[in-house]
Amino acid sequence: MFDHDGFAKGQPITVDDSLARVAFKVENRSGEAHRTQLEITGASAASYEVTADKQRLQPVQTASGIRVDIPVGAAGTSVTLTRR
């Protein structure tokens, strides 16, 4: 779940057959560069590598899963989660 922004309309959310990799584009809904948070419940921060536009991000473990701050450019951002 995003705190604002969302999945880009008309862009695929891809999941590989082994469920080890998920990729999607974040749509910028404010029109200005900013940071958004993505929260994934039931996940472990040690279990996933998260990248945004090929930049490695640092997920934070929460009580319910992980949270990661994602830099979102004016045109949106491509995000990939890869299970380690």
Check if the beta carbon of residue 24 is closer than 8 Å to that of residue 79: yes
Task: Determine the structural domain holding residue 25 and report its residue range.
Answer: 6-83
Task: State yes or no: pLDDT of 14 exceeds 70.
Answer: yes
Residue 10 in any domain: the answer is: yes
Residue 23 in any domain: the answer is: yes
Any idea what the CATH number is for the domain that residue 33 is in? Answer: 2.60.40
Residue 49 in any domain: the answer is: yes
Q: How far is CA 37 from CA 17, 19, 26, 52, 57, in A?
A: 26, 22, 11, 12, 12
Structurally, the chain folds into a number of domains equal to: 1
Residue 69 in any domain: the answer is: yes
Task: State yes or no: pLDDT of 1 exceeds 70.
Answer: no
Residue 1 in any domain: the answer is: no
> pLDDT tens digits, residue range 15-74?
999 889 999 999 999 999 999 999 888 877 778 899 999 999 999 999 998 999 999 999
